[in-house]
Structure 1
Amino acid sequence: GEILKRVGGIDALVHGDIPPKRGLSSSSALVVSIAIALRELFDLDIPLGEFIDRVGYSEWYRLTRGGTADHAAIILSKRGFVSHIKCLPTLPEEVSYAPFPEGYEVIIIDSGFERPDTEDAINYLRVTAAEYRIAVLLVKSRFKEYSDRIMLLRDISVENLKVGLDRIYEIIKSLPERASRKDLRRMCAEEYLDELEIIFSNHKEPPQGYKIRQRALYGLAEIERSKVFPHLLKRGDIASIFKLIKVSHDGDRVAKFDKWGNRVEWNPSIFSTNERLNELIQMVRRGVLEEAQLYWQPGGYERSIEPIDYMCDMIHYHLEGYAEAQLMGAGLGGGVLCITRKDKVDSLGKVLENTYYDRYGIRPQMLSIEPSYGACILCK
C-alpha cells in the first residue's frame, strides 16, 4: 500500500460516562471519539462511509473482532429518530430514519452482572460468531447455484437469492443441528476448506459440537427483524414492536421462568427441528405468510444469562402491553434494553425491586436514554 498522509500523535484528556461491559458499546464510543478528533486535527479527507468502516476495523488490532454497526450508529444517529443503517460496507446515503414513538421511553437496565473476561467466555463468544460463518460455507457448498451471490449470512435472503421463503427454510433445514469439526470438514466443499480452517483457528472446538442450524436461524431472523422494525415504528404498531422484542430475546435466552419466578424447561433447538421447519415450509405454501415470516422465529443464539432472562420475563409478566425488554450487546452479562410507556417507568422500577432485587440481591440501575445527534466536533 501507499502512505497517503502521515498522522501524528495527540495529547488527549478523555472522559466518559458509559459503563464498560454492559453492551453499551463503550469501546466503540472511545474509538469513534478519538477517530473524529484525528480526522479534524489532521484534515483527513476520507469519505464518511469508508471512514466509519476503517474506524470499526481498527479495533481488530486489539483483538476485539467486531463489525462496524456500532460505529456507524454512533456517527450517523439523528435526534428523536431510530436509525436504520446498512453495513459492510457502510452506506451513509442509504440510511433511513423512523421516528421514535411518542409516549414511550428507552430504559437501559444494568443487570449487575459483568460479562466475564475468562478464557471460556471469550471462547464461547468466538464460537457463536464462527457458527454464522460456518453456516455460510455449508450453504455455498451444498447449493452451488447460489454460491456466487453469498458472501455473508445476510445474503441468504428472499431478495438476494430471488427465491420464495419456503426455499429459505429448506436451505436452513439442510444445515446440521450439531456438528464436530470432523463432520464439518466432510460437509464443506474442498474449495472452502482453507477458509474453514481459518475460522477454526481463533477458538477451541465446543465439546458438544457446533450448533449450526439454530444459530443460522437466529441470525437470519435477526436480519429480518432489523428490516421490519422501522416499518413498525412508522406505523406506530407498538404491539408488534413489543412482540418482536420478546421473540428476539427468546432467541438469545438460556433460561425461562413462569410468572411466579419458577424456572421452566427451555430448549432453543425446538425452533429449528426438522418438524418445525417442515411446518413453516407448509405454512408458506398454504399462504399463512405472516405467522411464517422469519422475523417471528426466535432461533437459538444463547448469549444471555439466567438473571437477565429472569428480568425480561418478570417485566413481560408484570407489564405486558406496556413494556418489553431484551438483552443488549454481546451478551453473557451486561445490560437490558427496555421500551416502556412513560407513565409506567415508576412501575418498572417497582417490578425490578420486588422481583429481581428480591431474588438476586442486586438493585438494578435504570438509565433513561433517547436518540440523539451523532458524534461530532463540538468546538474548535
Structure 2
Amino acid sequence: MNGKDEDIPITKITDSDRVQQLNNVFKEEFGYSPAFIVKVPGRVNIIGEHIDYCGYPVLPMALEQAILVAVGLTEELELQLRNVNKTYCKYNTKLNTFEDITIQPDADGKPFWYNYVLCGVKGAMEFLKNKITNGLQIYIDGNIPPASGLSSSSALVSASFLSFLHAQNVSLSKTELAALCAESERYIGTQGGGMDQAIAFLAEKYCAQYITWNPLQATPIALPEDAVFVVAHSLAEANKAATNDFNIRVMECRLSAKILAACTGIACDNKIITLSQVQQTLDNTLEDMVRLVDEYLPKDIYTKDEICRILETSEEDLDHSILSPNTRHLKEFKLRQRALHVYEEATRVENFRKICSQKPDDILEVLGSLMSGSHESLRKLYECSHENLDLLVDTSKEVGVHARLTGAGWGGCVVALCPMEKVDMYVETLVNEFYVKHCNVDKFVID
C-alpha cells in the first residue's frame, strides 16, 4: 500500500506460506476455497503517544506482522467466524441489522476475540444502512502479538470492516476506510483516536507516516538510514478495552480542554472537546499552551464538584455531555498532568519530524533524546507505563540506546532507536539483562 488516498489495491499477497496454510484450513472447515483474502498490518508508533485523540499529529509506521482474513461468501445472511489459533472459540451470528449485533465482554470484563470482528462488521453494516447481499464465512490468522501495543485489535477491526465491504462489492478510499474503522472500534468501548487505522491503510514501505487530522492526511517521513527501530515486548499484556484506564485519560484531556477554553474566554460549548481545538481557537503556539496550563490548571487533583463549578454546569450534564459511561463514577481527575503531556508530546513530534528532514550529524542522539523524553512524560505525567516497560527503557539506557513505550501503555512493548552497528549487542543485552535475569525466560523467538 502507499500513502496516497486511493482505493485499496487488489493484488497478490506475498506471504505465501501463511496464505497457503490459511487457504487449507478454510477449505477444511467450509469445504471450498476462500473468495478472497484481506491483509492489514500492525503498527509501531515511533513518537506521539496519547495525542491523536486530542487532535495532534503522530508518527507511526506499519509492521510486517499482520492480520490475514480469508473470506467466503454465502447467500444466507450469517457471519461464521473461525481462528487459526484454536484457543479462540468459534462464533456464529445472524446478520439482520447492525443494531442487533451486540458486543459484550466476558465475565472478567475483557473483550472476546471476536468482539473486534463484530466491531468491524457492525460499523460496515451501519455504513451500508443494513443493505447487504452476502453473508460471510471468515477464517482469521494473526501474528501480531495480542495486547502488546502494536495494534492487533485495530488491525482486526480494520480487516473485518474491509472484508465485509468487499464482500458487498463496495469500495472506498483509504482515508474513508481509516475514518470509518476508527469509528467502528469505539463499539468496543474505548474512545480512541484514529492513528492505528490511519497507518493500517496509509502506510508506505521504508518510512514512517506523519499523520494529521481534519482532514486526515499522511505524509511519508524518511528515517535515518543507519537507524534500526527495535521493538521489545515487556511480557506484560495490556488490553485497553478491559479497563477504564484509557478512557479516563481521554476524559481528563477533554475536561482540561473545557477548562482551558472557559478560563481563556472561548465559548464553552460542545464544539470544543480537544486540546488542539483550544490551541487553534486561541491561535497560540504549543509553548503558549504549556504556559496556559501552568496558569489555569495549577492543581494536581481536581474534584468533580470543582470542575462543575469552573464550567458552570451540573454533574448530570457533565456525565452525559463529556464523560464516557465507564468514567462517570469518578470523583477526582488529574488535568494539569495530562494536558502538559499532550502539549509537550505534540512539540516532540514536530521536532522529530523537522530533525528527520534537517539530518544533523548527531541525528540519532537528538531523535533518541526526544523518544526518551516521551517515555518520561508517559511515565510521570500520563502515568501509563509499567515496571517492565521502565526496566526495558532503563536497560536500554545503560548501553546508550534510547527507548520509549509504544501504544497505549500499561504493558505491551517498547520501541528503541538503535544505531545499526549496535543492534546485535543491544538485542543480546535485552535477552540477558531483561528476559533471562528478570523474567526467567530461556527460549526466544526474534522476528
- Inter-partner Cα distance in structure 1 for 2:240 and 2:283: 43
For 1:12, the aligned partner's letter is I
Change in 2 beyond 3 A, CA 1:194/1:47: farther
**Cα distance change on mapping 1:363 and 1:78 into 2, 3 Å:** farther
Cα offsets for 1:183-208 (capped at 9, x unmatched): 2111213399724544164226557x
C-alpha offsets along residues 218-250 of structure 1, whole Å, 9 cap, x if unaligned? Answer: 012222222232222222322221010000000
From 259, 272, 283, the counterpart of 1:138: 259
Provide the secondary structure at the position in 1 that maps to 2:377: helix
Partner of 1:177: 300
Partner of 1:337: 415
| Change in 2 beyond 3 A, CA 1:311/1:57 | same
Displacement, 1:74?
0.8
Cα deviation code 1:277-332 (max 9, x no counterpart): xxxxxxxxxxxxxxxxxxxxxxx0010011210110120122x2xx3111111111
Q: Partner residue of 1:31?
A: 157
Q: Kindly report the root-mean-square deviation, in angstroms, between the aligned alpha carbons of the 2 structures.
A: 2.8
Q: Structure 1 residues 365, 114: closer, same or farther in 2, change over 3 A?
A: farther
- Letter in structure 2 aligned against 1:232: I
Partner of 2:440: 361
Displacement, 1:171?
Answer: 1.7
- The answer (yes or no) to whether the contact 1:109–1:366 under 8 Å persists in 2 is no
Task: Indicate the residue corresponding to 1:257 in structure 2.
Answer: none
Superposition pairs of residues 230-269 of structure 1, within 5 angstroms: 230-236=353-359, 237-253=363-379, 268=380
Asked if structure 1 preserves the Cα contact closer than 8 Å seen for 2:227 and 2:420, the reply is yes
Q: Hey, which of these two has a bigger chunk of strand by percent?
A: 2
Query: Is 1:326 matched with 2:404?
Result: yes
Q: In the alignment, is residue 79 of structure 1 matched against residue 190 of structure 2?
A: no
> 1:306 and 2:427 equivalent?
no
Q: Matches of 1:150 and 1:32 in 2, distance apart?
A: 28
Partner in structure 2 of residue 350 of structure 1: 428
Q: Which residue of the partner structure matches residue 6 of structure 1?
A: 131
Choose 75-84 or 61-70, whichever is displaced more: 61-70
2: CA distance, partners of 1:32 / 1:165 = 32
**Does the Cα contact within 8 Å between 1:232 and 1:238 map onto a contact in 2?**
no
| 2:341 equivalent to 1:218 | yes
Equivalent pair of 1:352/1:364 in contact (CA under 8 Å)? no
Residue equivalent to 2:23: none
Q: Which 5+ residue runs of structure 1 have no aligned equivalent?
A: 254-267, 269-299, 369-380
Letter in 2 for 1:162: D
1:153 equivalent to 2:284? Answer no
Q: Which residue of 2 aligns with 1:41?
A: 167
In the alignment, the residues of structure 1 paired with residue 229 and residue 194 of structure 2 have an alpha-carbon distance, to the nearest angstrom, of 23
Percent sequence identity over aligned pairs:
24
More helix per residue: 1
Structure 2 counterpart of 1:304, one-letter code: S
Q: Is the 8 A contact 1:112 1:364 kept in 2?
A: no
CA contact (8 A) 2:189 2:241 kept: no
- Alignment match, 2:114: none
> SS at 1:11's partner residue?
strand
Please report the TM-score for the alignment, with normalisation by the length of structure 2.
0.63
Q: Which amino acid aligns with 1:44?
A: V
Change in Cα spacing, 1:39 to 1:358, as seen in structure 2 (3 Å) is same
Q: CA deviation at 1:41?
A: 3.0
The aligned amino acid for 2:323 is: I
SS of residue paired to 2:209? strand
Q: Cα gap change, 1:42/1:338 in structure 2, threshold over 3 Å: closer, same or farther?
A: same
Q: Secondary structure at the match of 2:302?
A: coil
Q: Do the aligned partners of residues 118 and 102 (structure 1) sit closer, same or farther apart at CA in structure 2, a change above 3 Å counting?
A: closer
Which one of the candidate residues 181, 186, 194 is aligned to 1:68? 194
CA distance in 1, matches of 2:272, 2:329: 25
- 1:52 corresponds to which residue? 178
**Which consecutive residues of structure 2, in runs of 5 or more, have no partner in the other structure?**
1-125
Give the superposition deviation at 1:79: 0.3
- Work out the CA distance in 2 between the residues paired with 1:50 and 1:73: 13
Change (3 A) 1:95 1:339: same
Please state how far the C-alpha of 1:31 moved relative to its aligned partner.
1.5
Instruction: Give the secondary structure class of the aligned counterpart of 1:227.
Output: helix
Q: 1:162 aligns with which of 283, 293, 301?
A: 283
In the alignment, is residue 203 of structure 1 matched against residue 327 of structure 2? yes
TM alignment of 1:264-283, pairs within 5 A: 268=380
Larger relative contact order (Cα-Cα within 8 Å, sequence gap ≥ 6) = 1
Contact 1:98 1:233 in 2 (8 A): yes
Residue 90 and residue 365 in structure 1: after superposition, are their counterparts in 2 closer, same or farther (change >3 A)?
farther
Report the AA paired with residue 275 of structure 2: L
Q: Distance in 1 between matches of 2:239 and 2:138?
A: 29
Question: What one-letter code is carried by the residue in structure 1 that aligns with 2:367?
Answer: I
